[in-house]
């Protein structure tokens, strides 16, 4: 075995022996002493003498019964009683003082809590009063606004009325309105026309006329889309004026109106020009129609034909012009 192990075992055995000796050793009894502090009974205010001290006092009294008692001993005993009583009274005074201080502090805390609650109640009352005043003011303001609105909307029966006289003077606005009415009457007359002077423009068969191209040339020469899905030409394009002629598109089933929503994606076979008779400016309308028809035919690389599909020669142009000049209402077609 190693030396460290042997030393450890020996130390352990020594510690165990010391422990056993301390356990088995009987403690010495504590001898009571007369010099110990006295215990005072709080009810009788008399010192409490332990039993073992009483025994010692009795033994000393038996031994010293034959001896003379010195007066000084009684004086000390008499003096010790007031000292003990004074000590007890001091303790009681301190206890009462502490209780009084604690009671005063508790009262102060209670008073502070009461003051805080009173302040909170006052604030609540003030807030409620302010809310009531604001609501009353809002209601008063709303009532005032309502009464004001009713006063503004109510009619005054005492207002004097003035008779409106008829207007016989000239007015540009009235003239424009009358021209617009005249235009409407002219366009409506297309449906009730007694006779139609028609011209047809057909593009070169080798060059189809697209819807975009047809729309551009019509707008170029002052025609505007209007009633009966037609393009109309007026005497003056800048201001209201009399209707000169109108234009339809040619289809396999004959003349038809334009559909501007689908026109750009379609092919146009031809354009049908027509002048409705009677017309207050029939000759002017005829001359304008033949002129614009020839210009559009040149634009689309086409030709102009009359209503009988004959090429519109200068002779046919003069023939139909004289027909328009000689036309009278309720005249039969030549």
- For residues 114 and 210, membership in a common domain is answered with no
Q: Where are the alpha helices (DSSP H) in the chain?
A: 3-24, 51-63, 71-153, 172-188, 211-220, 282-299, 314-326
- For residues 117 and 246, membership in a common domain is answered with no
Per-residue pLDDT of 35-67, as tens digits, reads 555 667 777 777 766 666 666 666 666 555 555
- For residues 66 and 131, membership in a common domain is answered with yes
Q: What is the pTM of this model?
A: 0.45
Contacts of 157-162 with CB under 8 Å at 24 or more apart are none
pLDDT of residue 149 exceeding 70, the answer is no
- For residues 203 and 268, membership in a common domain is answered with yes
CATH of residue 254:
3.30.1400.10
pLDDT of amino acid 334: 42
- For residues 118 and 198, membership in a common domain is answered with no
pLDDT of amino acid 162: 57
CA distance 334 to 326: 11
pLDDT of amino acid 322: 94
Range(s) of the domain holding residue 85: 37-141
- For residues 310 and 198, membership in a common domain is answered with yes
Mean pLDDT of 190-210: 84
Per-residue pLDDT of 202-216, as tens digits, reads 998 767 788 999 999
Q: Is 285 helix (H, G, I), strand (E, B) or coil?
A: helix
**Do the beta carbons of residue 282 and residue 324 sit within 8 Å?**
yes
278 or 175: which carries more pLDDT confidence? 278
| pLDDT band at 198; cut points 50, 70, 90 | very high
258 or 330: which carries more pLDDT confidence? 258
DSSP state of 252: T
- What percentage of the chain carries pLDDT values higher than 90? 24
Per-residue pLDDT of 67-123, as tens digits, reads 555 555 444 444 555 555 666 566 566 666 666 776 666 677 677 767 777 777 767
Question: How many domains in the chain?
Answer: 2
pLDDT of amino acid 73: 47
Q: Which of 128-132, 264-268, 291-295 has the lowest mean pLDDT?
A: 128-132
Q: Establish if 183 belongs to a structural domain.
A: yes
pLDDT of amino acid 144: 76
pLDDT of residue 14 exceeding 60, the answer is yes
- Average per-residue pLDDT in the chain? 75
Q: Establish if 149 belongs to a structural domain.
A: no
**Do the beta carbons of residue 295 and residue 221 sit within 8 Å?**
yes
pLDDT of amino acid 311: 93
- Number of other CB atoms surrounding residue 5 within 10 Å: 9
């Amino acid at each position: 075995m190693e030396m460290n192990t042997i030393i450890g075992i020996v130390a352990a055995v020594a510690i165990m022996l010391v422990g056993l000796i301390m356990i088995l050793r009987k403690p010495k009894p504590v001898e009571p002493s007369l010099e110990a502090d006295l215990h005072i009974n709080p009810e009788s205010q008399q010192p409490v003498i332990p039993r073992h001290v009483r025994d010692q006092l009795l033994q000393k009294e038996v031994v010293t019964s034959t001896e003379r008692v010195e007066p000084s001993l009684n004086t000390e005993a008499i003096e010790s009683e007031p000292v003990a009583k004074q000590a007890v009274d001091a303790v009681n005074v301190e206890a009462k003082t502490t209780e009084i201080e604690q009671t005063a502090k508790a009262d102060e805390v209670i008073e502070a809590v009461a003051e805080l609650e009173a302040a909170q109640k006052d604030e609540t009352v003030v807030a409620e009063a302010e809310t009531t005043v604001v609501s009353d003011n809002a209601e008063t303001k709303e009532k005032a606004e309502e009464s004001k609105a009713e006063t503004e909307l109510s009619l005054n029966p005492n207002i004097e009325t003035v008779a409106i006289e008829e207007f016989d003077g000239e007015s540009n606005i009235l003239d424009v309105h009358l021209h617009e009415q005249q235009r409407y009457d002219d366009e409506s007359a297309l449906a009730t026309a007694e006779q139609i002077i028609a011209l047809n423009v057909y593009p070169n068969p080798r060059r189809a006329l697209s819807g975009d191209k047809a729309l551009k040339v019509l707008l170029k020469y002052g025609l505007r889309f209007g009633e009966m899905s037609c393009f109309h030409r007026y005497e003056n394009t800048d201001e209201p004026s009399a209707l000169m002629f109108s234009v339809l598109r040619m289809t396999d089933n004959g003349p038809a109106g334009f559909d501007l929503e689908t026109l750009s994606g379609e092919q146009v076979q031809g354009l049908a020009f027509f002048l409705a008779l009677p017309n207050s400016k029939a000759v002017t309308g005829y001359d304008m129609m033949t002129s614009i028809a020839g210009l559009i035919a040149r634009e689309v690389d086409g030709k102009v034909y009359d209503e009988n599909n004959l090429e519109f020669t200068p002779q046919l142009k003069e023939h139909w012009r004289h027909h328009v000049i000689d036309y009278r209402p309720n005249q039969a077609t030549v």
